Structures are given as C-alpha cells and as structure tokens.
Chain A
C-alpha cells in the first residue's frame, strides 16, 4: 500500500467518525482550533491500514509568491558559493598571495594552480620527520626541461648538488629536502 498522509488531529477523527471525511482544517467542522479545544481522547483504529485518509489539507498560513523581489539579494548573500569565486585582480594583496601571470603560459612548461589558486608545491614529511621531500605537482608541458631549470636554480642558490626525481606520467617533480620556499620563489619569478 502506498504511503498516505494520516491526520494528526485525533480530535477531528472523533467528530467525523470512522467512515467520514476527515479534514485537517478544523474550521470546516465548525470548531475553532485552539489549544483548549483539542481533545486528548484518541481514536484507536484496528490497524493503521484501515484508518481513513486525510482528504483535504489547507495551508495554515496565507502567502503569495513573488518572483525576484528586491530583498532577494540579501538572501543570496547568505547562500554558499556554487563554485569557488574568480579572483578579482588587485595591485597588491595584503596576505602576500601572488596571482598567476598571463605570460607564464608562454613558457615550454607550466605549473597549474589548484582550485583555490594556490601554487601546487608541497612538502612531504615521512619517517617521523627524517625524510623531507618537496613536491611540485600539476606540471604541464616539458617536465624534463623544467627539471633541469629547477636543478640549476637550486644548485646556484645552495652551491651544491640537489637530487630531484621526475614522474612524467604523474606530472610531478620531487626534490630531496625541504626546498618549498625556494621553489615557491622560483615559481613566482617565472609567473606560475
């Protein structure tokens, strides 16, 4: 049997009887619905399936539907974003965050920003802090050329050889050691 709405009003059932039309709206029965008038007596039907259906449900409150009222913008302000909003270009950002530059896509390689517009350079710490690996993710284009450039940059800055590892299919480069700040600086200088 399909699910049906049952009357919540036990009081209405008494007046209507078992076979009668049960109305949720008590005004139709000629009685006012106030706390005092609601009877606490309950009518027990032999089972749920044999209890009568609710026939007519009127809206308790009267309202009218308005399309696009001027106040809707205040509601919209409270609604969560459908997607992460686009960045509004500014001269400087107080947080120190730097946006991606247009000319970065002219290079043979490219680092994509993530959906929150952050650089995808991360530090992986493992073996209880004994192994630190900096990881550049989301690399597009010539990953091997980028590996050479990163190696050169780190060698010049730290004046020693620094090991890297390229994963071409996974589109990432791993640098052995914590060089996240240096790599961020390099990426920002390239415009990524």
Chain B
C-alpha cells in the first residue's frame, strides 16, 4: 500500500493522471506539490530541507496523507546536547524554591545560661549549650527557607535548545506531523491503541497551534496521564524530552518554524536584555 502511494506521489511530478486521483485527493495534491513550491522567508542556503510524512489520527492504521518540508535551521540543526542539558537544568531551577531550613544558635530553644563557670573546672569554656559546637545546638551556614534558584538562560541558548531538541527528535523518528487532531471517538482506548500500533512509545506530547483542541481528543487524552496536549506557545525542551514522541499538527510545525526563523533573523537585543521582574 505504501509503495503504491509513493509511486503515486512520484507520478504527480510528471503529470497528474486521473487514475491516481483515488490515492491523491486535492488536499494531498497540494501537499505533495508543496515539496518543490514551499517558499520560506529565509530559505535554506546549503542544507536541504527535511521531509516528513503527514500522517492521520482518524484511523488506527497509519495513512500517509502527503509529504511536508521542514526548514533545516529549525528541524535539522546539530543537536547540541550540552545546550539541551542547560535548558533542562534551567527549567528545573527557575521555578524551584528550596524550603530546606535549619535553626541558628539564636533560634534553637534555650541556651541562655552559661552552662558552667568560665574557670576552675578543667573543662572547655562555653557560653551556651546551643552553640554550634554542642549536640543539639544551632547550625552554622545551614539552608534557610525560601531560597529561590531563579535565573534566566541567555535568549539564544533557549532558542537553540528548542531547535536542538526538535532536530534530535526528528532524527530519532520521534517527531511526527499529523494533519489535524480529529479523531472519530472520545474513547481513550482508541488513542491508546493507535499509539501502541504506531510504536509511539507510551508517552506522547501532542502540540497544536490553537488553545482549543477538538473535543474528542481532549476527552480521550483526559484519562491518559502520559498523553498530553499543549499549544505551540507552551512548547519547551523539558516536556519534549519527558515524552517519548512529539506529535505536531501541520500548522503547529509551520508556526514553530516561522517563529524561530523570525527570531533568528531579527534584532533580538530586547529579548537579550537583562530580565526584569516587572517585565512580565
């Protein structure tokens, strides 16, 4: 079936004969034709665009609805694992407030009285039983509660973190592009079976370009804790690594591409400026 489809897609380049119409609907034609016609605002100079299949979600059996080109700067970058790692560390740290707490010698109860006289006992001189030298005494330089670990990773490291992770996911066949998120039923068993049959691993992150996903997929993923929906603006390195497979809708893939390319080709001094607490 797949080989027939590939042949059909290839023959579209030469001519579009009518017998191929049953494999290629009008939508597929436009997708396949976009292989040659896709024009970016910032076209790739040397590296060739990455090609991906457009898949479907409305049947459990996988159907390839067309071919789609992805910009190599975003989806074909060198996966810098050091940058990915720094992004993950950043994402864990910026929201972490450490509540570990110890008491100093002033806060430990008691210890106001001099335990024994300064002289005449042959013992070491001490002024308080809560001194750090004592068992049960205060702690010197211990953790104090409410310690924030907030910092901002430099802007371009955040940007290259996204491109590196997206590229690594695509190179490892863990990134799939689907046409839309329409599924026939709101049963989560359907989605679980689909994920199992396509070897998408247990955990799947589905990214759409809108805030409102269709009802069926929202209900179906509601019961599955390891299948999550996310809008494009929520895409981040940590979540992409946490899930085995990343599913992008076609419009989401394009939107991510446009946004990152725009930022890579514009003046980003504003984004690179020091983070101010009142800027949000």
- Chain A residue contacts of B264, Cβ below 8 A: 115
Is A112's CB under 8 angstroms from B46's CB? yes
For residue B272, CB closer than 8 A to chain A, the reply is no
> How distant is B64 from chain A, measured CB to nearest CB, in Å?
30
C-alpha gap A185/B264 in the complex (Å)? 27
C-alpha gap A115/B268 in the complex (Å)? 11
Task: Tally B residues with Cβ within 8 Å of A.
Answer: 11
- Chain A residue contacts of B266, Cβ below 8 A: 81-84, 115
Is B47's CB under 8 angstroms from A140's CB? yes
- Chain A residue contacts of B47, Cβ below 8 A: 140
- Chain B residue contacts of A140, Cβ below 8 A: 46-47
C-alpha gap A82/B266 in the complex (Å)? 7
For residue B78, CB closer than 8 A to chain A, the reply is yes
C-alpha gap A66/B47 in the complex (Å)? 46
C-alpha gap A84/B47 in the complex (Å)? 21
C-alpha gap A171/B160 in the complex (Å)? 14
- Chain B residue contacts of A112, Cβ below 8 A: 45-46
Pick the contact of B267: A80, A141, A170 (CB < 8 A). A80
17 A-B pairs within 8 Å (CB atoms) are namely A80-B267, A81-B267, A82-B262, A83-B262, A83-B265, A83-B267, A84-B266, A84-B267, A100-B45, A110-B45, A112-B45, A112-B46, A115-B265, A140-B47, A141-B46, A169-B80, A171-B78
Residues in B lying within 8 Å of A, measured CB to CB: 41, 45-47, 78, 80, 262, 264-267
Q: A83-B41, A100-B45, A115-B265 are in contact. List 13 more A-B contacts (CB 8 A).
A: A81-B266, A82-B262, A83-B267, A84-B266, A84-B267, A105-B46, A110-B45, A110-B46, A140-B46, A140-B47, A141-B46, A169-B78, A171-B78
